[in-house]
Structure 1
Amino acid sequence: MGEKFLTHYQVLGLSRTATEREVKIAYRKAARITHPDRGGDPALFRQITEAYEILADPAKRQSYDRSYGAGRKPSGAGSGSSSGPDATSSSSAGSSASGSGGFSGFSTRRTQEQRNTAGDPAIYVPAYEDLAPGETPLLPRPTAAQPVHGAPRKRGVFGAASRLAREARTAQLIMQQVLPGIPAARLVNGLTSPRSNGYLDHVLVSGYRIAIVGSMLVPDGAFRWDGSTLVHGSRVAAPPQLITATRQFQELFPECNVTAWVCVHSNTGNLFEPVIDYARGTEPDGSNTVNVANAARFVREVKQFLASGPSPNVVDLSVLDRLLGGMY
């Protein structure tokens, strides 16, 4: 489904929290190693220079972070191309560039041999234990181990209170009924929508599966989902517009399987309401771009979606790091 890329941070061997001074130091070390005048690879030197030009400029760096590393170039000479296990059945090849002065590239080598389950302890890729002396991890281990990141943020003027309450209900539902059973699952709240000025409520990631999550609150009663709207008598309710963001996320994270989910809450707080009747082919089983379900079914289906991936107990630090950069 796509090549494995390196972010600008990975190219320079930096964490996302690197200071401007650290960016300059890393660039100078890498440039000395890779400069064509010193026998280095021209393509890798251009990649390093591009990374520095983006990360050394605060405005460009912020824009880059919020685009989830969009527009990245393939890794330089000696790097391998790979996809995540949800895209292909083969394991990923690593990529690295090393030399004197402490510069080292980033390896995405995965050593998963056996089939793991979602209930197994989380495994970090790349493993912290495999870091070379002095090598900076993509994310500090306490950050990577944190199951929940960010929080719903107040945005806009009209309907902010009801939206925040709805987002809080969904986040609480995920924290109480999804995360405890999947140690590698990470919930990221409050992200910017790729390539637009919009926002996403929540993103769930486990292994190489990403669930973009929105929510809505509807009156009591029975509804019918036709694949685009919820119909209740003469009333029609449209869910959050997530199709475009889902397709963009799939392009940005080709190693992952990305789908969108809408958790439909009832006024009563009963997780089994509202009752939703589905048109043929619209059942919320993860096979559709957007899956709509009441809270109880949302929990069941999302857990199944995340758990059915080939490496559900993996925390891919590259994927998580890029997601955290997209928080607004």
Structure 2
Amino acid sequence: MSPARTHYEVLGITRDASLAEVKTAYRRAARTTHPDQGGDAAAFRVVSLAYQTLRDPVSRAAYDRSYGTSSAYQVPASDARAAARSTPRTEPAGGRRPTATDSVRYVPAFSSTPTPVLTETVASRQIHGAPRKRGLFTPQSRLAREAGTVRLLSGRILPHVPAARLVNGLHSPAGRGFIDHVVLCGYRLALVNSMVLPRGVYRWDGTTLHQGGKAIDPPRMASLVRGMQEAFPELNVTGWTVVHSPDDNLHEPVIDYARGADPASASLTHVVNAANLVRELKMFLGTGPSPNVVDVPLLSRLIGGMY
């Protein structure tokens, strides 16, 4: 399948383009695609749809929350082949497999893109967004918990994986619920939510945490993982719930695993303490096929999904 283009790519503008810039880009694109000017009618319809969506703040916000999947169209195969030929190889010299410590490469390269969907300054930031309120009544405990997760990821993951990009506070792709954090690295995406439990030993059976006859349900993430996988079919998506201790001890609480429920399983979601999250995420992100790549259009779509 040829890659899909977002409305921003259709008009050749950055995601933060003003309304005036949207109008200017539309006029420019319309002059080259309008049938009266010798253009293709189908291409003009795509340009018009992009303009109608992005000129209205409400429809633009809804489009961004959909991660740019609604009304996206497929690039013609000839254009896709041309783009592939013009995109620099992401493998290091010598044909060896890229590693997470190789120099960061942006795809497409900024030097080859007249108007990228993100500026290089924005794409080079490792952290985007911060924990925020969801309405009038937001428990401070949630904000504090999410801030703790940001500190964990930014302090113990990002320095070791330079191409990783942390995006905080996203809408669910299904339109209901939220994702606290995502980490994009190459073509792997980790969804991370969190909870706080007292010190102790808990057993995870793949569905529920158990301690002393008490059952505790972690955040339900399977639907979020499936939704993001549908929105981003080019990505390998996995969900993680990190269980913090009240005193920020990375090794507490201790989580024991039933057979087949450990982080090495093929499950869509995993439950881990902070120390295990650091270890497992480094492995998940760093062993992907392109762990030194920042795919700029994918990052742009994720940033657009922030609330």
Which residue pairs with 1:121 in the alignment? 103
Q: Which runs of 5+ in 2 are unaligned?
A: none
Residue 22 of structure 1 is matched in structure 2 by 21
CA distance in 2, matches of 1:305, 1:179: 13
In structure 1, distance between residues paired with 2:2 and 2:284: 24
Aligned counterpart, 2:53? 54
Match of 2:90 among 112, 130, 141: 112
Percent identity between matched residues is: 51
Q: Which residue does the alignment assign to 1:276?
A: 255
Q: Between 308-317 and 151-160, report the one with greater CA deviation.
A: 151-160
1:175-233, Cα deviation, whole Å (9 max, x unpaired):
11000000000111111111323211101011000001001111221111011111111
The one of 117, 121, 124 aligned to 1:145: 124
Q: How big is the shift at 1:74?
A: 2.6
Deviation for aligned residue 1:120: 1.3
RMSD over aligned Cα atoms: 1.9
Alignment gaps of 5+ in structure 1: 82-92, 97-106
Instruction: Write the deviation string for residues 14-34 of structure 1: whole angstroms up to 9, x where unpaired.
Output: 101111111111111111111
SS at match of 2:226: helix
Corresponding position of 2:266: 287
What number of residue pairs does the alignment pair up? Answer: 303
Q: CA deviation at 1:128?
A: 1.2
* Separation (CA, whole Å) in 2 of partners of 1:57 and 1:63: 10
Which amino acid letter does the alignment assign opposite residue 199 of structure 1?
F
SS at match of 1:203: strand
Q: CA deviation at 1:145?
A: 0.7
Q: How far apart are 1:50 and its partner, in Å?
A: 0.9
Structure 1 contact 6–72 (Cα < 8 Å) conserved: no
| Partner in structure 2 of residue 12 of structure 1 | 11
CA distance in 1, matches of 2:73, 2:126: 30
Q: 1:323 aligns with which of 279, 297, 302?
A: 302
For residue 209 of structure 1, what is the aligned residue in structure 2?
Answer: 188
Amino acid at match of 2:284: F
1:298 to 1:94, Cα distance in 2 relative to 1, 3 A: farther
Q: What is the TM-score normalised by the length of structure 1?
A: 0.87
Runs of 4+, deviation exceeding 4 Å: 78-81, 93-96, 156-159
Q: Tell me which residue corresponds to 1:314.
A: 293
Letter in 1 for 2:279: R
